[in-house]
């Protein structure tokens, strides 16, 4: 493995919400003089040496993806960080690499190294007439970062992005790395395990814990993913009245009498953006429908001034700044008018619709998961708090996702509504967030936090949100990591959340 010590002692995330003091940032890469498998295995050994270095120096260690998170999940305060993005090999999977008991389609299995951007995987798969099953609101994240933070995807009847992962290659210490998969859903053959020179571990609880583990279960070096045939999305954005019909859709996901572009056809993707300062004009409703792939379609064109078909409000809200309360409605309305343009029947592949997001300006973003049955009540609370604790310099955005099997996935309701609150970066925005969380708890409305976005988590809240699943996650981490490696993969935010417990 190629290793270069940059000497950097500070690191800033993509959204510029913090600067972390570190000991060093390493740039690493595969040895391209080797063939793909030998190069991958050589990098495994190199990563083990990095862990050994951290153990000996008594420093924390963290793998860096795209730096997408607002929180200090992927950082090592005073420790070592390394950039995984050059680790972007992708392997096709042969029949001989798959357990005979695997129930899926072997031709749609791929093994991706951790640093692959979602956009890179999308490009690779398109050449094979295949596609990922879902993605986040963009495709700029690395594949390991995408799943490790529980990014919530775009397909509400499929689930979050980690749901297409069936195997994990995890480096857990200087002397041990494992292939982890569910015992109930075997995928890797003995020859695959031998080729990776690794150890097979089949355990449902361990796997479901490691999926969303925020980099604290070791270094996820590679992931086995299930894909599907290339398809098109037919996307619409319309303004609609926030009436009883739309409220019913948002609280039931029952589209049998929907007043949407394709009638009662169940969409692939459904989202609602509410501008609280222009309700008379209606809310913004995005629907996307899955269509068979064809070559004769018009490629989508990016909206350089604002939101394209797959973008969320984070794309343009950074243009907003903190302002006097009386000016906020006008500022938000002006920005939204220029940034959100309704469209009809825009067609593209998944990677074309949810393409690499460009951000404009500094912003804060928080997201919580609530049951769809709570949507009406939570929206009422938001409007109420906007009067008493606002004005909120942003939008109220709603997306919908199926429940995940991952123990700490924040999409844990049967159908989860993701409430996203993207706003101008200010102390006022932070205080509004705090007021929302406190009000939900006062009203006894269950909710979860997106791990990578602004949150105010502690162990009491995590226990209330996840119950026994949090205990299983902690037990799994203790089972997987030895004492020294647990120290290496513990950082201050994990301690703040109380997930660093040694049992």
Helix (H, G, I), strand (E, B), or coil: what is residue 232? strand
More confident residue, 17 or 377: 377
pLDDT of residue 303 exceeding 70, the answer is no
Structure tokens at 212: 């969303």
Structure tokens at 258: 């929907």
Q: Would you identify the CATH topology of the domain 86-229? A: 3.30.465
pLDDT of residue 386 exceeding 70, the answer is yes
Per-domain residue ranges for the chain? Answer: 86-229, 232-456
Of 7, 149, 144, the closest CA to residue 65 belongs to 144
The per-residue pLDDT for 323 is 66
Helix (H) or strand (E) holding 346: strand 343-349
Give the end-to-end CA distance of the chain in Å, rounded to a whole number.
Answer: 35
Of 86, 155, 94, 157, the closest CA to residue 117 belongs to 86
Which segment of 358-372, 379-393, 404-418 scores lowest on mean pLDDT? 358-372
Helix (H) or strand (E) holding 59: none
pLDDT tens digits along 38-96 = 999 999 999 999 999 999 999 999 999 888 788 888 899 999 999 999 999 999 999 99
Cα dihedral sign for 253, 255, 259, 263? Answer: positive
pLDDT of residue 325 exceeding 90, the answer is no
Cα angle 455, 461, 463; round to 5? 135
Rounded distance between C-alpha atoms, residue 447 and residue 370, angstroms = 5
Rounded distance between C-alpha atoms, residue 291 and residue 232, angstroms = 5
Of 396, 397, 389, 412, the closest CA to residue 464 belongs to 412
More confident residue, 35 or 140: 35
The per-residue pLDDT for 361 is 57
The per-residue pLDDT for 498 is 96
Rounded distance between C-alpha atoms, residue 149 and residue 68, angstroms = 10
Share of the chain above pLDDT 90, in %: 78
DSSP 254: -
- CB atoms inside a 10 Å sphere around CB 184: 9
Q: CA distances (Å), 93 to each of 187, 220, 315, in order?
A: 11, 19, 36
Q: What pairing do the DSSP bridges indicate for beta strands 415-424 and 363-371?
A: antiparallel
pLDDT of residue 310 exceeding 60, the answer is no
The per-residue pLDDT for 376 is 97
Report the pLDDT averaged over residues 474-503. Answer: 96
Please tell me if the domain spanning 86-229 has the same topology as the one spanning 232-456. no
- CB atoms inside a 10 Å sphere around CB 164: 22
Of 75, 85, 19, 65, the closest CA to residue 362 belongs to 19
pLDDT of residue 461 exceeding 90, the answer is yes
The per-residue pLDDT for 66 is 81
The per-residue pLDDT for 153 is 73
Rounded distance between C-alpha atoms, residue 286 and residue 399, angstroms = 10
pLDDT tens digits along 429-440 = 999 999 999 999
Rounded distance between C-alpha atoms, residue 263 and residue 171, angstroms = 49
Q: CA distances (Å), 109 to each of 44, 160, 164, 351, 432, in order?
A: 21, 18, 10, 18, 44
Average pLDDT of the chain to the nearest whole number: 92
- Rounded (10°) CA dihedral 61, 64, 69, 74: -10
Q: Would you identify the CATH topology of the domain 232-456? A: Vanillyl-alcohol Oxidase; Chain A, domain 3 (3.40.462)
By CB atoms closer than 10 A (0-12, 13-18, 19+), residue 360 is: middle
pLDDT of residue 450 exceeding 80, the answer is yes
Structure tokens at 484: 């020294």
pLDDT of residue 476 exceeding 90, the answer is yes
Which segment of 244-253, 422-431, 454-463 scores lowest on mean pLDDT? 422-431
**Of 149-163, 356-370, 379-393, highest mean pLDDT:** 379-393
Rounded distance between C-alpha atoms, residue 278 and residue 362, angstroms = 24
Share of the chain above pLDDT 70, in %: 94
Residue 397, beta-bridge partner list: 273, 420
């Amino acid at each position: 493995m190629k290793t270069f010590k940059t000497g950097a002692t500070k690191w800033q995330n993509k959204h510029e919400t913090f600067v972390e003091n570190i000991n060093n940032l390493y740039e690493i890469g595969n040895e391209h003089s080797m063939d793909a498998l030998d190069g991958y295995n050589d990098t495994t050994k190199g990563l083990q040496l990095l862990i050994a270095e951290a153990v000996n120096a008594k420093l924390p260690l963290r793998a860096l993806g795209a730096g997408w998170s607002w929180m200090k999940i992927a950082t090592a305060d005073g420790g070592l960080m390394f950039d995984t993005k050059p680790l972007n090999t992708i392997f096709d999977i042969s029949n001989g690499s798959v357990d005979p008991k695997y129930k899926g389609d072997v031709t749609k299995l791929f093994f991706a190294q951790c640093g692959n951007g979602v956009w890179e995987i999308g490009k690779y798969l398109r050449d094979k007439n295949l596609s990922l099953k879902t993605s986040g609101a963009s495709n700029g994240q690395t594949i390991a970062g995408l799943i490790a933070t529980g990014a919530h995807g775009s397909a509400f009847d499929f689930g979050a992005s980690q749901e297409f992962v069936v195997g994990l290659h995890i480096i857990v210490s200087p002397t041990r790395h494992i292939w982890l998969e569910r015992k109930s859903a075997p995928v890797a053959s003995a020859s695959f395990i031998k080729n990776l020179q690794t150890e097979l571990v089949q355990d449902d609880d361990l796997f479901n814990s490691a999926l969303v583990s925020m980099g604290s279960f070791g270094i996820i070096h590679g992931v086995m993913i299930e894909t599907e045939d290339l398809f098109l999305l037919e996307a619409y954005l319309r303004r609609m009245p926030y009436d009883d019909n739309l409220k019913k859709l948002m609280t039931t996901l029952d589209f049998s009498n929907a007043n949407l572009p394709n009638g009662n056809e169940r969409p692939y993707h459904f989202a609602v953006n509410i501008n609280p300062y222009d309700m008379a004009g209606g809310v913004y409703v995005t629907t996307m429908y899955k269509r068979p792939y064809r070559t004769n379609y018009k490629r989508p064109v990016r909206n350089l001034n604002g939101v394209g078909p797959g973008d969320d409000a984070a794309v343009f809200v950074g243009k907003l700044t903190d302002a006097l309360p009386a000016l906020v409605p006008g500022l938000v309305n002006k920005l939204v008018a220029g940034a959100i343009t309704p469209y009809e029947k825009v067609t593209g592949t998944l990677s074309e619709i949810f393409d690499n997001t460009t951000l404009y300006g500094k912003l804060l973003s928080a997201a919580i998961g609530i049951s769809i049955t709570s949507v009406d009540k939570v929206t009422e609370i938001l409007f109420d708090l906007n009067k008493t604790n606002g004005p909120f310099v942003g939008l109220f955005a709603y997306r919908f996702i199926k429940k995940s099997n991952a123990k700490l996935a924040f999409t844990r309701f049967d159908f989860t509504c993701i409430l996203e609150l993207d706003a101008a970066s200010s102390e006022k925005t932070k205080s509004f967030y705090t007021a929302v969380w406190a009000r939900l708890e006062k009203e006894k409305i269950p909710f979860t936090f997106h791990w990578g976005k602004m949150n105010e988590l502690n162990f009491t809240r995590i226990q209330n949100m996840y119950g026994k699943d949090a205990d299983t996650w902690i037990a799994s981490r203790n089972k997987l990591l030895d004492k020294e490696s647990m120290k290496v993969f513990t950082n201050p935010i994990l301690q703040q959340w109380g997930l660093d417990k040694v049992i």
